[in-house]
Amino acid sequence: MKTLLTLLLLTFFMAGCDLLDSNDIKLKKIESKKELALIEKDKELQKIKLQADVQQENLRLNKEKEIALFEQNLRLKQEENRLAQSRYMMLLIALVLIIISFFIFYYFKKRHDDKLKSYEDNLKKYLQQKEQESRNKIAEKLIDTIASGKINKEQEATLLNALSGQAPQQPLQIEDMEAEIEEVKREGS
């Protein structure tokens, strides 16, 4: 009996425990449901957070791509500008060289023309000086011939006209005058 009694007591306590246990179980079930709900909520928050992170990462990558594309376009524009600038510099240098060449050519041409003109002027002066010397010699010869008195009056008048520069029809050439003087000298001898 004792065993029976213990059994009964035990059953009674067990039954009471079942009641306690079922409340505990219900509480545990509710708590587990709450925990599951929290876990689900955390999962959803993490999922949303991950989606936001993925979107941020995509935005960041797109921004980096746009920045890289912009920098590449900027480098291309700078290269085009550099090439255009070097092209303009080459054209400017060519233009400056052409202008300098023109001025050098002009300078040397002007210098050559000046030298040529100077040479021509000196040659004219030299020829005028020689002609003047020849006239002076002829004039001296004419004066000597007239002073000698060996020529007639008509020849004397012709020689004086030639000496004064009043030629009757044609200007007397130096050779003609010298020929006349020689002729007069031969007649006089």
Q: Mean pLDDT for each consecutive 10-residue tract of the chain (189 residues)?
A: 64 54 79 87 91 94 95 96 96 97 96 94 93 86 78 77 60 60 63
Residue ranges per structural domain of the chain: 22-119, 120-188
> CB burial class (10 A; 0-12, 13-18, 19+) of residue 158?
middle
Q: Give the tokens for residue 43.
A: 């999962």
* Alpha-carbon gap, residue 128 to 131, rounded angstroms: 5
pTM of the model: 0.41
